[in-house]
Amino acid sequence: MPTASIDFTMATLAIIMVTAGAIYGINIVAAPYLETKSSESRFYQLGRSILLSEGNPENWGTGEIPTAFGLSDGNEVYSLNVDKVTRLNSDNHNAVNYSTIWRSLGVDDVSIGIEVSLLYDLSLSVLSSVDNGDNTTYTIQATCTKDGYPVESDMSYYVTVRSSTLHATGITNSSGIGVVQFTIPDTQSGTAMLVGFSKLQDSIVTYDVLPFAHQSGAPQPPNTYATLSPLNNILYPTVTNGSSVNAVVFSYDYSFNLTSSGSEYLIPSLQDAGPMILVLTGVDGADYWSEYVAYPSIPFEVGATMDSDYILSDVSTCTYLVDVGGNHYKIKLQFRSPEKYD
């Protein structure tokens, strides 16, 4: 049978199992893996079950507590729900903790660790700044690599400070290096947020974000002034120091000021695939600050520690290529079960 047919069949079975589990009040999704057998096949199939089923309730990504653990959005094979994935990031105020994940997995003799990452790396840095009197020009370098090797790509850059935003495009060359310049008026002093996107193709986009000082003191650590929690296309900010000035969403092709609804902001559905970066700017006394969050909130790690230096266990690692919100990511699932001794 072709692989696509097998995957489709398993996805259908996973959904059927979730539905049956909801009816009978048990986690049938995990039932095939309850038998104690320490084979790679068992963990691989358990991983596929997590990625191909929606879990229970099917819409637990919007804020419900899952009773059966599944990350699928119910559409294509290995297509994961943006909010289910985002809720696995412990920085989100609506995150599900590991205890909930483990209970909803429904396999008593297995611990799980989950890591979701971008397919390649982008690093941004400020090479130099030149004071022109009433404005400052910054030279920015982008470095794209995959496992230490240079990556050629198309680039899209943004700088936002206070309520103003600048945009530029470019490339990274055969050495994986790209350079761009921004000139910012000195009157717009404060912590500037540099957002960079690198694109290999429409479904393979990575990003980096770099705060830097513009005619101001050094940037403070993340979440000093506010924490940002996106969910269900709404940004929930919690401002702890000062007040907000502006909220902006960035993607490779687009940037928009977000519309506020009380203390929340509505996140638009953008046409281009890839991660969105949400930036909130604000002021605390004389200090203008910036905070950001990615949506979906990738990369992250959650779950049990798989350090074999102090845990005697049977650890298996399963890696998959998945789609989240139209962009490709790598998800690594690690499973651990107690070893048996004679």
Under 8 Å between Cβ of 281 and 246: yes
Give the mean pLDDT of 272-281: 93
Give yes or no for a cis peptide into 299 (omega within 30° of 0).
yes
> Does residue 98 have a pLDDT over 90?
yes
The bridge status of strand 79-80 relative to strand 313-324 is: parallel
| Burial annotation 83-105 (CB, 10 A radius, 16+ → b, else e) | bbbbbbbeebebbbebebbbebb
Same structural domain, 132 and 164 = yes
Instruction: Write the pLDDT tens digit of every residue in 121-171.
Output: 999 999 999 999 999 999 999 999 999 999 999 999 999 999 999 999 999
Average pLDDT, the chain: 87
Same structural domain, 227 and 104 = no
The confidence score (pLDDT) of residue 14 equals 39
Same structural domain, 110 and 125 = no
Please provide the DSSP assignment of 61-99 as one string.
GGSPPPSB---B-SSSTTEE-HHHHHTTSTTSTTPPPHH
The confidence score (pLDDT) of residue 79 equals 96
Domain membership flag for residue 154: yes
Q: How many domains does the chain have?
A: 2
Domain membership flag for residue 291: yes
Under 8 Å between Cβ of 255 and 167: yes
Same structural domain, 33 and 97 = yes
Q: How far is CA 19 from CA 22, 26, 31, 68, 213, in A?
A: 5, 10, 13, 10, 53
Range of the domain at 254: 121-295
Instruction: Write the pLDDT tens digit of every residue in 206-260.
Output: 999 999 999 999 999 999 999 999 999 999 999 999 999 999 999 999 999 999 9
Closest of 138, 144, 92, 83 to residue 119, by C-alpha: 144
Under 8 Å between Cβ of 169 and 155: yes
Kindly report the pTM of this predicted structure.
0.85
The confidence score (pLDDT) of residue 6 equals 33
Domain membership flag for residue 342: no
What residues form DSSP beta bridges with 89? Answer: none
Same structural domain, 80 and 174 = no
CA distance 240 to 237: 9
Instruction: Write the pLDDT tens digit of every residue in 23-80.
Output: 222 233 333 333 434 456 788 889 999 999 999 999 999 999 999 999 999 999 999 9
Domain membership flag for residue 101: yes
At 108, is the pLDDT very low, low, confident or very high (cuts 50, 70, 90)? confident
The confidence score (pLDDT) of residue 55 equals 96
Angle between helix 40-52 and 3-24 (nearest 10):
70
CA distance 53 to 58: 9
Q: How far apart are the first and last CA of the chain?
A: 40
